[in-house]
Structure 1
Amino acid sequence: MDLKSLTLLVEIIDAGNLSEAARRLKVSRANISYHLSRLEQSIGLQLVRRTTRRIEPTEIGLRLYEHGRAIRNELLAAQESVSSLGQSLQGRVRVSVPSGYGQWVMADWLLDFKRLYPGIVLDVMFENRVEDLMRDEVDIAVRVMSEPPQNLVARDMGVLRYVACVSAAYAQEHGVPEQLSDLRTAPLITAAVVGRQLRVAAYLDEERHEVLLEPTLISENFLFLRQAVLAGLGVGLVPDYLVQDDVRQGTLVTALDAWRLSIFGTNMYMLYMPDHHHTRATSTFIDFMLARARTAEVDCAPCPSNTHS
């Protein structure tokens, strides 16, 4: 067994099937299959189990894969160290951020990072999906959730607070929710997950309550949700960062301020694979974003109360 064969095994298992491995390596599928068979023959053991759609490593295949990944990552680190000598920091960082928090809060952080490191290619996706977070085209994902997946490294980026709020005109005409149960019947404006019932978890003096919601206006675009609340179309249940300025200015008023509200979770996490090789660009990005998140957490007090009475 040589290093080239071991690297090939890593690429095949990472790809999930021979066709995808061939596409990534820009060779034919037959070529990949031939070299994999030669490697298995030289060892005398089956390294992967082939199905019509995917391949799965055998026990010995998984062991070799783990060794191969470690070796490949060390080689990548060595190559990067050599190529970066005497140069500004370069590389590519592929990151997936939530559509609302990413645009409203993280956008300035991302732009500041790009100004500081112009040689780094920053590839940013604004999306909210949770399933299959760490796809091959993503190095880092930022998500709001109650508990991060156990198979990923999760770095805490702070607490996310939700508020119930309405426009000043709506409050004057219809009043505001006074009881948690009022959210069941109010014209509710919020985000939702397709195919999943929407529930709000609410905490009062550490006692947890839960209410099933039936929104009348739903969107993943939080800027649109803010516009809808400002237009007086109902009660917004949105993250506080989205409406803090509006509450301070008095154009929106909050309700149920004694409650701590949560829909998708109360924490923001930065997620990445535990065994993923981090280039200097990626490591620098992680450190930069975590530092900005810590600063924002210190500077950002809970949304000030401006409850309509």
Structure 2
Amino acid sequence: MLESLSQAEELFLSGSQQAHSVLRITLPQVFSQGKFMQMLSDFCHAHPQIKLDLIITNKNLDLVQQDIDFAFRGSALADSQMRSIKLFQAKTILCAPQGFARQLTTVQQLQVITEQLLIPSYINLSTLRLYLQKIGIKKPLHQFTAIDDAFSYKQAVLAGMGVGIFLDFFVEQELKQNQIWQITDPHPFSYKFLDFNMIYHKNIKLAKPQALFRDFVTHYFTAT
């Protein structure tokens, strides 16, 4: 009898915990639109008992100190206490608004990049600096116009302020709608490929809500 009561209490507490579960998740700005947000919406509809606390930031927050369950990042895993699952790979592309001339010589194209490039100051600038030097642009980064917000940066390029550097998935719709076009000459400008990963605690056994979320995200990106 006591054993049955104990089992019933355990089941009740387990169900109650799941009913009120909140997953704390951090992701960069470029994830807060399109396919990724659709995935989160699908998860919420599939598991309405699990709520999400989303932290949208380009900073790499400490999962332990900030009590975060999952992080999504486009960088290599640096913490041995964490586990990483690769979701997809993105590439960096150079895009210009529709008003910019397309029929330019190589010299003219480099001149446009030198004069009109907008710097996304929320990314790792050391790699960008090396690439610009490699293709012959010696202009220091501090002499370019810089914008530190991903959505404001995209809007600036769409408005014709200058040429922009984007991850391909972040401007997928704008490219399809011909609002911007990809500059492929004189260089493809794929100066960096990024593996986007889901990161979570390695040394902590996942509770059921965390395991459901991990499996849902993994299946979503491997099946599409």
Question: TM-score, structure 2 length as denominator?
Answer: 0.76
- The aligned counterpart of 1:98 is 28
What is the number of equivalent residue pairs in this alignment? 206
**Who is 1:236 aligned against?**
164
Q: 1:96-131 CA distances to partner (integer Å, 9 max, x unpaired)?
A: 011112334321111111111111121111111125
**Who wins on radius of gyration, i.e. which is larger?**
1
CA contact (8 A) 1:178 1:255 kept: no
Residue 218 of structure 1 aligns with which residue?
147
Change (3 A) 1:235 1:249: same
Counterparts in 2 of 1:178 and 1:98: CA distance versus 1, 3 Å: farther
Distance (whole Å) between structure 2 residues aligned to residue 188 and residue 94 of structure 1 = 36
Structure 1 gaps of 5+ residues are 1-78, 203-208, 297-309
> Residue type of the partner of 2:117?
L
Measured against aligned partners, the alpha-carbon deviations of 1:42-99 in whole angstroms (never above 9, x if no partner) come to xxxxxxxxxxxxxxxxxxxxxxxxxxxxxxxxxxxxx976634599765221110111
**For residues 98 and 179 of structure 1, do their structure 2 counterparts lie closer, same or farther at Cα, with a shift above 3 Å needed?**
farther
Aligned partner of 1:248: which letter? Answer: K
1:148 equivalent to 2:77? Answer yes
Of 42, 47, 59, the residue aligned with 1:129 is: 59
Unpaired runs of 5+ residues, structure 2, are: 1-8
State the Cα distance separating 1:293 from its structure 2 match.
2.0
**Cross-structure match for 1:266:** 194
CA contact (8 A) 1:95 1:125 kept: yes
Contact 1:154 1:269 in 2 (8 A): yes
Greater RCO structure (CA 8 Å; 6+ sep): 2
2:155 is matched with 227
Hey, what's the Cα distance between the residues in 2 that align with 1:167 and 1:184?
13
Give distance in 2, aligned partners of 1:236 and 1:80: 55
CA contact under 8 A between 1:98 and 1:142: conserved in structure 2? yes
Aligned structure 1 segments of 4 or more residues deviating by more than 4 angstroms:
79-82, 85-90, 174-184, 209-213
Equivalent residue letter for 1:225: Y
Q: Alignment partner for residue 250 of structure 1, among 178, 182, 187?
A: 178
Percent of aligned pairs with the same amino acid = 21
Looking at structure 1, the residues matched to 148 and 214 of structure 2 have their Cα atoms a distance apart, in angstroms, of 29
How far apart in 2 are the matches of 1:140 and 1:88? 17
Q: Say whether 1:171 aligns with 2:101.
A: yes
Deviates more, 1:175-184 or 1:129-138: 175-184
Q: CA 1:237/1:86 → structure 2, altered by over 3 Å: closer, same or farther?
A: closer
Answering whether residue 88 of structure 2 is matched by residue 158 of structure 1, we say yes
Change in CA separation of 1:249 and 1:182 when aligned onto 2, cut-off 3 Å = same
Q: Which residue of 2 aligns with 1:191?
A: 120
Q: What's the secondary structure of 1:159's corresponding residue?
A: strand
SS in 2 for 1:234: coil
Give the TM-score of the pair, scaled to structure 1. 0.57
Q: Give the match for residue 292 of structure 1.
A: 220
